[in-house]
Amino acid sequence: MKWRKLLCMLLVIAMAMALTACKSNETSDKEKGKEEEVTNGGESVDEEFPTMDSLKLGTDYTDIKADLKFLTHRTDIVNTRFQEYIKEFQKLYPNVNITYEAITDYAEDVTIRLTTDDWGDICMIPTTVQKSELPNLFVSFGTLENLGKTYDYLNNFAFEGNVYGIPSTVNAQGIVYNKRVFQEAGIAEMPKTPDEFLDALQKIKDNTDAIPLYTNFAAGWTMAAWDAYIGGSATGDPDFMNNKLVHSKNPFAKKDDMTGPYAVYYILYEAVARGLVEDDPTTTDWEGCKGMMNRGEIGTLVLGSWAVTQMQGAGDNPEDIGYMPFPITVNGKQYASAGPDYCYGINAKSSTEEKIAAMLYIKWLTEKSNFAYDEGGIPVVKGAAYPPTLQSFDGVTLVIDNPAPAGEETLFDQVNSESEMGINVENTHVQRIVEAAMDKSETLDDIINDWNQKWSAAQEKLNVEIKY
C-alpha cells in the first residue's frame, strides 16, 4: 500500500513540474502551435482538434500523418488481431502508423510511466488514475452530454462534464464455468445464492477431478476482480458503488439476506477454508489456467465476461466454456454489474496530429473493429446487441453504476485511499482473505470488522456525511 501512495505522490509531483514547465514555455509553445497545421480533406485547419462525436471516419483528416505508440495489456493478441486492426484502419488512413507495446505487469508499469510525458500516444487507462488527474494526463474526447447520445458506459473516466476515457468494451460480471464439469458433478441448476454455489463446488470436488474454484491468487490482479461484484451484482442498486458506499456506516457488514459486499467475500473465504480451491493458491498460473479450464481441469473462475473467449480459445473444447450470473439473489432477482473494461486514453502531451490520429483510431476501434464482440463483451455504441457470451443471463438485470453527484466526483477515491482499502485498485485486501482462510489466522468477521473500522476512520477524517 505504501508503494502505491509513493507512486501517487510521484505522479502529483511530476504533474506539478510539468505544469510549471508549461507556464515557462507558454509563449514558445503558442508560437510553435501556430506553425502546426493538420489537413482535413486537403484543407488546412488550426491545431485545435475535434471531439470524437464530430469525427466522420473515412471522410475527415484522410491525409493526416502520424506515428502512434499504443500501450496495451493484451499481450496475447498484440501480434495477431491488433495487426489486423491496423491494416483495416490504414485502408482509411494510410499515413497513420501504429505500434503496439504489450506490457505484462500493466497497471503498475503504466502508473509509473504516466509520470512522464513521452509514454506514448494511446494507453488503456489504469484504475490507479484518479479523476482529478485526468485533465492533466489525457485529452478530452468531448462532453459527457454530447458523447452520451452515441455511447454508453462513459462515467468511469468522466470529470467535470468531460470524457477522458472511452471504454474498449463492456463486461458483465459473472463466473466462467466448465459445462462438462458441472454435468459430471451432477449440478442440475445454476446456483443462485452463496451457499448454493458452495454446495456446487463441493459436488465438483466429490464427483470430479477438477479444481472446484481456481483463485488465480498468484497473479494478484485477479484477486482485485472480486471487488467488481460488491456493487450491482450483490445489491441490485446502481447507486451503491458511487453514492451509497462512501456514505454508509459499516458497508462491509454481514446482512441477514446474504447480499452486499460481505456475501461476495464470504464465498471466497469459505471456498478456501473448505478446501474447494487449488492445493496451493500461491502457485497459480494465469496463462496456464486458460487451457486448464478448457480441458475441464477447473470448474469455475470468478472473472468478467471478457475472459470467456480467452478460455474458449485455449484448447479444443470451446463449447464446454459457459458464463453464469454471480450467485447472489436480491429480493428474488439476480443482477449483474456491467461496466467498462479498460478505457482508451490519449496523451495530452502528444502533438496535434498524433491526438487527432489517435482519436480517429479509437473511434474506428469503437465503432468498426468488432473488438467488443471478439472479446465476448458488450459494445459501448448505443443499441448494440449483446454477445452470445451472455445468453445464459436471460432474466438477469444488468446494473450500470450511476455516477457520483456533482461535487463528489472524487470522494470515493479519497475515502478509498485514506482507508487504504484499495477497492478496485489494489489486490492485497482480497489476498488477505485467501491467506486468512488458508492458515486460519483470521475469521472473515475479523477482516470485515477491520475494514469497517478503516472505512469509518477515513469517513470521519474527511468529514463524510453518514446517510445509510
Q: What is the pLDDT of residues 112-149, one digit of tens each?
A: 999 998 899 999 999 889 899 999 999 999 999 999 99
* Assigned C-alpha cell, 433: 482473505
Q: Does this model's pTM top 0.85? A: no
430/50 Cα distance (integer angstroms)? 42
pLDDT band at 15 (very low <50, low <70, confident <90, very high): very low
Residue at 235 is within a domain: yes
Please tell me whether residues 51 and 85 are part of one structural domain: yes
Residue at 383 is within a domain: no
Mean pLDDT of the chain, nearest integer: 90
Give every CB contact of residue 212 below 8 A, 6+ residues apart in sequence.
Answer: 200, 201, 202, 204, 205, 271, 276, 277, 299, 300
For 202-237, the pLDDT digits (tens) are 999 999 999 999 999 999 989 999 999 999 999 999
CB 115 within 8 Å of CB 349: no
| pLDDT for the residue numbered 225 | 92
Has residue 36 got a pLDDT over 70?
A: no
| pLDDT for the residue numbered 374 | 86
* Assigned C-alpha cell, 197: 454455489
Please tell me whether residues 104 and 211 are part of one structural domain: no
From the CB of residue 21, how many other CB atoms can be counted at a distance below 10 Å? 12
Rounded (10°) CA dihedral 113, 116, 122, 125: 50
Residue by residue, DSSP assigns 335-346 as: EEEEEESSEEEE
Phi and psi, residue 320, nearest 5°:
-80, -10
Over the range 202-213, which residues count as b (16 or more CB within 10 Å of their CB) and which as e? bbbbeebebbbb
Please tell me whether residues 78 and 148 are part of one structural domain: yes
Has residue 14 got a pLDDT over 90?
A: no
CA angle 224, 229, 231 (to 5 degrees): 120
Please tell me whether residues 197 and 53 are part of one structural domain: no
Nearest in space to 461 (alpha carbons), one of 428, 429, 416, 425: 416
| pLDDT for the residue numbered 48 | 65
CB 121 within 8 Å of CB 71: no
* Assigned C-alpha cell, 141: 474526447
| pLDDT for the residue numbered 21 | 45
Please tell me whether residues 110 and 194 are part of one structural domain: no
Has residue 281 got a pLDDT over 70?
A: yes
Please tell me whether residues 318 and 363 are part of one structural domain: no
Report the pLDDT averaged over residues 438-454. 97
Has residue 293 got a pLDDT over 90?
A: yes
User: Coil, helix or strand for 149?
Assistant: coil
Domain limits at 209?
Answer: 173-341+395-468
Has residue 18 got a pLDDT over 50?
A: no
| pLDDT for the residue numbered 327 | 98
pLDDT band at 101 (very low <50, low <70, confident <90, very high): very high
Has residue 168 got a pLDDT over 80?
A: yes
Has residue 187 got a pLDDT over 60?
A: yes
Q: At 291, which CATH number?
A: 3.40.190.10
304/184 Cα distance (integer angstroms)? 24
Please tell me whether residues 182 and 285 are part of one structural domain: yes
CB 322 within 8 Å of CB 303: no
Residue at 313 is within a domain: yes
10 Å CB burial of residue 172 (0-12, 13-18, 19+) is buried
Please tell me whether residues 149 and 256 are part of one structural domain: no
| pLDDT for the residue numbered 214 | 98
Residue at 199 is within a domain: yes
Give every CB contact of residue 396 below 8 A, 6+ residues apart in sequence.
Answer: 325, 334, 335, 336
Has residue 22 got a pLDDT over 90?
A: no
* Assigned C-alpha cell, 405: 453527484
For 361-406, the pLDDT digits (tens) are 999 999 999 999 888 888 999 988 888 888 788 889 999 899 899 8
| pLDDT for the residue numbered 339 | 87
* Assigned C-alpha cell, 81: 488481431
Distances (CA, A) of 280 to 85, 276, 397, 406, 435: 40, 11, 36, 46, 11
| pLDDT for the residue numbered 337 | 94
356/25 Cα distance (integer angstroms)? 23
Residue at 389 is within a domain: no
Phi and psi, residue 215, nearest 5°:
-75, -30
366/198 Cα distance (integer angstroms)? 39
Please tell me whether residues 144 and 27 are part of one structural domain: yes
Nearest in space to 357 (alpha carbons), one of 8, 38, 12: 38
Please tell me whether residues 87 and 233 are part of one structural domain: no
| pLDDT for the residue numbered 387 | 85
80/38 Cα distance (integer angstroms)? 31
Question: Total structural domains in the chain?
Answer: 2
| pLDDT for the residue numbered 17 | 45
Residue at 140 is within a domain: yes
Please tell me whether residues 308 and 363 are part of one structural domain: no
Q: Residue 335: beta bridge partners?
A: 397
DSSP E strands, 352-455: 397-399
| Percent of the chain at pLDDT exceeding 70 | 90
